[in-house]
Amino acid sequence: DIGCHLAGLHLSSCILNASGPRTNTEQQLLEIARSSAGAVCSKSATLEERSGNDQPRYTEIQLGDRTSSINSEGLPNKGFAAYTEASLLRRLRESAEPAGKPYILSISGLSLQENLRMLDLLLESGSVEHLSAVEVNVACPNVPGKPLVGYDFPQFEAVLKEISAHPVFTANPTLALGFKLPPYLDAPLFDAVAGMLNPLAKSKGGVLGYVVCCNTLGSALAVDVETETTVLHPKGGFGGLGGPVVRYLAMGNVSHFRSRLDESIHVVGCGGVCTGEDAFAHILCGATAVQVATQHRVEGPTCFYRIAEELKDLMRRPAGGKLVGASGGMPKI
């Protein structure tokens, strides 16, 4: 059984899609619902529809048989209403028959006010009862003129406080709240962020259910040595780096947060999961569930079945394998 309990939700598989690739349209979300993914997570919504940045805004980096990516999409999405309308939520439920699966709405308002407005609309709408979680993305590196909230601690603290105090969560105690974090690179930053998150834990009377570690690593730059230009067009060619090249960084973030966060705040691993072994490595670092982004884009939604089967095969191996009692004095994860 590779199911899990994430922030009060039951997932029949701990492997789900990340917000981003193949999450923009109703058709794409329904395909995830029909797949083996443990939950369906939408593209990060803004209040209004956005077409995103100019093309080209996505490129792939091949290292052996592993594909990483750099993107500067700029939050193209159908707008908040499209991801919360009753007919989409009904089709998602029907597509995920017989058991149904959680639907996670990712939001990435261009301001705190915009995020709060979307939560207001959710509170007023009948859709909220069919929504399992709201995942607030504080880590998009790609909107011109909008620095990353998760790196601006005074702003980040205000965002955490106001969003977690929103009545949509107190009125709907089963609605989980998650935050999608950017990658951090230094121990004092993990201390500082954990210090802002822990007071919001359910065990402290708060509503924070989980964090995702982590979003893409910003300021990556791909260049074309033939044309002597950047590969991506928007924002001077800079974009967010994802996939196997950030997997070890993502796992470090999972582990740092797992060791610092209140037990009631779950950590979802995200970064470079291509195989069941990658998923297991994230779990060893402290992840309750794992999200798949670049590999989902490359392979399509059948990746959730393949990765789940690989993880199950791994779990069936004789307990502990060769590492049991043979850690050679290395630190336990």
Between 107 and 131, CB nearer to ligand DHB: 107
Q: What is the Cα–Cα distance from 137 to 316, expressed in whole angstroms?
A: 35
Give Cα separations from 293 to 23, 68, 196, 232, 299 (angstroms). Answer: 10, 10, 27, 19, 10
89 counts as binding ligand DHB under rule CB under 6 A: no
In what helix (H) or strand (E) does residue 22 lie, and over which residues does it extend? none
Part of the chain binding ligand DHB (CB under 6 A), chosen from 90-98, 134-142, 260-268, 310-318: 134-142
Site residue total, ligand DHB (CB under 6 A):
16
DSSP 8-state symbol, 237: G
Part of the chain binding ligand DHB (CB under 6 A), chosen from 67-75, 86-94, 159-167, 318-326: 67-75
220 counts as binding ligand DHB under rule CB under 6 A: no
Q: Which of 28, 35, 68, 71 touches ligand DHB by CB under 6 A?
A: 71
Smallest separation, CB 57 to ligand DHB (Å): 8
21 counts as binding ligand DHB under rule CB under 6 A: no
307 counts as binding ligand DHB under rule CB under 6 A: no
Report yes or no: 146 and 152 within 8 Å, Cβ to Cβ: no
Q: What is the Cα–Cα distance from 135 to 120, expressed in whole angstroms?
A: 15
Q: Which of 137, 230, 253, 291 touches ligand DHB by CB under 6 A?
A: 137
309-317 long-range contacts (CB < 8 A, ≥24 apart) are 309/276, 310/275, 310/276, 310/277, 310/279, 311/2, 311/14, 311/15, 311/276, 311/279, 311/280, 312/2, 312/276, 313/276, 314/276, 314/277, 314/280, 315/2
The residues carrying an active-site annotation are: 140
Q: Which of 73, 135, 278, 310 touches ligand DHB by CB under 6 A?
A: 73
215 counts as binding ligand DHB under rule CB under 6 A: yes
Contact footprint for ligand DHB (CB under 6 A): 20, 44, 71-75, 108, 137, 139-142, 215-216, 240
